């Protein structure tokens, strides 16, 4: 199939195939962006969790070093709670503050995934719409004198291509969406793991309202 044949098929669907091509490009852009971000985040988070697990106790200097290592990782917000001079003293209060930080950071993980979710639903419907438009064109051949009924079959075949294209776009989007959603859940698990590790390794020695101090035993 040459390029001109593809153009003819796209025009046969009144441009629906062009719209599906745009959705595919948009989906791939989201997939590449989120895959790169989540992959780096998972790898960095795994190293950070392993580093914290290697400590028996964490001092203020250790926390500062871990914070520098975390850089722009989502897990950094959990460490920030312990370094905050206005953070509460009690373990239960600290745990609640860390939960707040995790919930506030969570929207960064599934950013733009709603676009994939929309494409997964929209692409098959758009493909079906293109097929219906193409079928109208195909059967209108019968209304033109001199055209044989067999001419309809070629038009029907062209019309069905948009449905196949819509399903293909949706399948690619669905596989990527499930994989990215699972990666986002893994990052959330790493943040919760880091919270537990930090709480089990720090000793709050300051009075309430003073700057956080974490003493190593």
Q: What is the pLDDT of residue 149?
A: 59
Q: What is the pLDDT of residue 188?
A: 94
**The residue to which tokens 């064109």 are assigned:** 137
Task: Determine the Cα–Cα distance for residues 66 and 55; give it in Å rounded to an integer.
Answer: 11
Closest CA to 108 of 170, 23, 183, 46: 183
Sign of CA dihedral 193, 59, 211, 208: positive
CA angle 174, 180, 185 (to 5 degrees): 125
Q: What is the pLDDT of residue 210?
A: 40
pTM check: above 0.95: no
Q: What is the pLDDT of residue 87?
A: 61
Q: What is the pLDDT of residue 208?
A: 40
151-201 helix and 91-105 helix, angle to the nearest 10 degrees? 160
Sign of CA dihedral 180, 186, 191, 194: negative
Per-residue pLDDT of the chain (217 residues; tens, 9 = 90+): 555 566 666 666 677 888 899 999 999 999 999 999 999 999 999 999 999 998 888 888 889 899 999 888 999 999 988 888 666 667 788 888 889 999 999 888 888 999 999 999 999 999 998 888 877 776 676 666 655 556 566 667 777 888 899 999 999 999 999 999 999 999 999 999 999 999 888 865 443 434 344 333 3
Q: What is the pLDDT of residue 46?
A: 93
Sign of CA dihedral 140, 166, 111, 185: positive
């Amino acid at each position: 199939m040459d390029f001109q044949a593809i153009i003819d098929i796209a025009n046969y669907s009144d441009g629906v195939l062009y719209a599906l091509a745009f959705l595919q490009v948009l989906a791939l852009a989201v997939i590449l962006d989120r895959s790169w971000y989540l992959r780096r985040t998972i790898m960095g988070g795994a190293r950070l969790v392993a580093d914290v697990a290697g400590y028996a106790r964490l001092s203020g200097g250790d926390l500062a070093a871990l914070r520098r290592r975390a850089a722009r990782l989502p897990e950094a917000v959990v460490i920030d709670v312990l370094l905050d001079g206005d953070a509460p003293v009690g373990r239960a209060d600290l745990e609640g503050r860390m939960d707040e930080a995790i919930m506030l950071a969570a929207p960064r993980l599934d950013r733009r995934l709603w676009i994939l979710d929309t494409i997964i639903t929209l692409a098959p419907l758009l493909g079906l719409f293109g097929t219906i438009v193409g079928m109208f064109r195909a059967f209108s051949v019968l209304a033109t004198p001199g055209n044989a009924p067999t001419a309809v079959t070629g038009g029907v075949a062209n019309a069905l291509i948009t449905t196949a294209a819509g399903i293909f776009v949706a399948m690619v989007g669905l596989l990527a969406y499930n994989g990215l959603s699972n990666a986002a859940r893994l990052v959330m698990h790493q943040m919760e793991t880091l919270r537990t590790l930090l709480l089990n390794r720090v000793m709050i020695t300051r009075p309430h309202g003073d700057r956080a101090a974490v003493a190593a035993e």
